[in-house]
Amino acid sequence: MAGFKNRLFDHDSDVDLTHKINTMELENWISHLKYIEKELINLITICNHNLNTRLDDSTVVKRFEKKQNENQTLLNALIKYSNSRTNIVECEDTACDMVYITEHESYRRSYLYHLDKYRRLKDDFFNKIHGKIKLVGVD
């Protein structure tokens, strides 16, 4: 069973619970970044189909492409980090556990920062196109 190792049990220690919750959170981040990648591809494609000229802003596509590179860099880092977490079971002391917990907090900050910047970029894009294109089914 795929998620069995991450099931939470009453007898789990606080550290075990933290590692399991962090693993589930990490899996969610990776899934979300993969979705953002697909969304960025769609946004770049939309922009490249004459929308750029309507926006009077040639930087829109460049900003999405830059965010796409940043997204891929973070996704690759999280996947590498996820693979390194298989060694958690070998921790025999609190210091070892704390290294993983501290590293996870650092990745959490990076993920949340990336997400915030991406949302701002998207909001800026939608504010720019508002009223410049006719959306199907919207009166």
Answer yes or no: is 13 within a domain: no
Answer yes or no: is 99 within a domain: yes
Percent of the chain with pLDDT over 90: 46
d(CA 29, CA 22): 10
CA 86, chain centre distance (Å): 21
Confidence of residue 6 (pLDDT cuts 50, 70, 90): low
* Residue linked to tokens 């998620």: 3
Give the HSE-up count for residue 130: Cα atoms under 13 Å, Cβ half-sphere.
7
Structural domain for 79, as ranges? 20-124
Query: Which pTM was predicted?
Result: 0.81
Structure tokens that stand for 88 in this block = 């958690």
At 37-62, the pLDDT tens digits run: 999 999 999 888 766 566 666 788 89
Mean pLDDT of the chain: 84
- Total domains present in the chain: 1
Contact criterion met (CB below 8 Å) for 20 and 6:
yes
Helices (H), the chain: 14-46, 52-55, 59-84, 94-129
Answer yes or no: is 1 within a domain: no
Answer yes or no: is 95 within a domain: yes
